[in-house]
Amino acid sequence: MTLRLGYGTNGLTDLRLDDALGLLADLGYDGVGLTLDHMHLDPLAPDLAARTRRVARRLDELGLGVTVETGARYVLDPRRKHGPSLLDPDPEGRKARTALLVTAVRVAADLGAHAAHCFSGIVPEGTTTDIAWDRLEEALTPVLAAADTAGIPLAFEPEPGQLVSDLDGFHQLRHRLGDPESLGLTLDIGHCQCLETAAPADCVRAAAPWLRHVQIEDMRRGVHEHLPFGDGEIDFPPVLDALDATGYQGLTVVELPRHSHAGPELARTSLDFLRAVLTNGVPA
């Protein structure tokens, strides 16, 4: 198989970024899902361009590919998780999220990333679904323009509980926006297990034409909780077979954002698990 495996820095928040990148390279990962956040590459701190150049050099030295992720919980608002979102009632809040995503696209271009990731957010209380869709379409338009200019795919992630929660929602967004070439999909394998009607491997096959980024972890049906491999219900050999068969060239990134306390060890055991499936067709 030719899958390229990565690990998300949102699961290594107790490590300095340089140490996290060194760890992943030493373990043998192919790349990293780099979440822009205050403890790593802060998108709001001064001298972002210079700091990004340093990270780009480090990635190059280590031979690591990269995806830029934007799921930092409190990077814009220290009191509201993922706030403000693209659906925020306050137009200035929506502009702040749009600006962050435009910055993420530019950072992705400067790092040589294969995609920049984003998501919709939860529909605010008192907001109708129609208004939420209108806000999302308006807020994403400048981001897609930036992605098109930079030549960086925008990899939109359906998230359980959000306006765009599943693959059907992604296709609704795609059609509303006129199916722009710069809009692709982040497919989280755990989310497929959590709420899609099709099996995760079938979701991979259905998503293949739009696949720009993949996140992977274990999960249980109906419970949105990212779990280490073996702690959930996913049958991984068919999933990895399906991913390989699509010809997907991006990173497949382990996504364990609530496990930073054990990040270095989970990075090791996760890679062992995935390598065993890829090599032998069975988990380690």
Report pLDDT digits (tens) over 144-181.
999 999 999 999 999 999 999 999 999 999 999 999 99
Predicted pLDDT at 24: 98
Reduced to 3 states (helix: H, G, I; strand: E, B; else coil), residue 10 is: helix
Range 34-45 average pLDDT: 97
Predicted pLDDT at 191: 98
Range 230-252 average pLDDT: 96
Range 92-114 average pLDDT: 98
Residues 6+ apart with CB under 8 A from 25: 62, 63, 64
Q: Are strands 218-220 and 154-156 parallel, antiparallel or unpaired?
A: unpaired
- Rounded CA-CA distance 206/106 in Å is 30
Residue 1 has pLDDT above 70, yes or no: no
In terms of pTM, does the model score above 0.85? yes
Structure confidence at residue 281 as a pLDDT band (50, 70, 90) = confident
Structure confidence at residue 284 as a pLDDT band (50, 70, 90) = low
Tell me which DSSP letter residue 228 carries.
Answer: -
Reduced to 3 states (helix: H, G, I; strand: E, B; else coil), residue 62 is: helix
Residue 282 has pLDDT above 80, yes or no: no
Predicted pLDDT at 128: 98
Answer CATH for 4-280 from 3.20.20.150, 3.50.50.60, 3.90.1170.40, 2.60.40.2300 = 3.20.20.150
- Rounded CA-CA distance 154/158 in Å is 13
Percent of the chain past pLDDT 70, that is, above it, reads: 99
Residue ranges of the domains in the chain? 4-280
E strand segments, the chain: 4-8, 31-35, 65-69, 116-118, 154-156, 183-188, 211-216, 218-220, 223-227, 251-254
Range 123-147 average pLDDT: 98
Predicted pLDDT at 2: 83
* Mean pLDDT across the chain: 96
Range 57-65 average pLDDT: 98
